[in-house]
Amino acid sequence: MSAPTALSVAESTGRLIEQITEFIGENASMTLDISNDQATVWVHRLDVTRFPLHNEGDPQAGVQVTSPSTYAGHLLYCKAATLLGALQAAAAYLVFPPQVAESHLRIVGGAS
């Protein structure tokens, strides 16, 4: 199997951004943070009924609750070595929320 081309990575990244934006709805928003060695995707104001918290009170869990928060709803945080990896993690969570801890992923709860 050959390595992905820059164009295929850009196309995949664009498609994932579109899909996440459509999936989270108009009240939520997404922020991308890219540095030399990692990328982070933040999805703000997730609907607490669609994206409930898991493993509350477990400091090792992939999903965390913090208080107070400046955001109404929940905040999804996904970190990876590449932007494509962080977007894939965010998309995967939004479609299939994990039931166990994942080190690259957490949810923080805020006031609803």
Give pLDDT tens digits for 77-94: 788 889 998 899 888 888
Domain ranges of the chain: 6-109
Q: Within the chain, how many helices (H) and strands (E) appear?
A: 2, 4
What would the pLDDT profile of 32-75 be if each residue is shown by its tens digit?
A: 999 999 888 888 777 766 766 554 555 544 444 444 455 556 67
Helix (H, G, I), strand (E, B) or coil at 64: coil
Q: Are 70 and 108 in contact (CB under 8 A)?
A: no
Question: Taking the model in full, what pTM does it have?
Answer: 0.70
| Side-chain-facing half-sphere of 92: CA atoms under 13 Å | 14
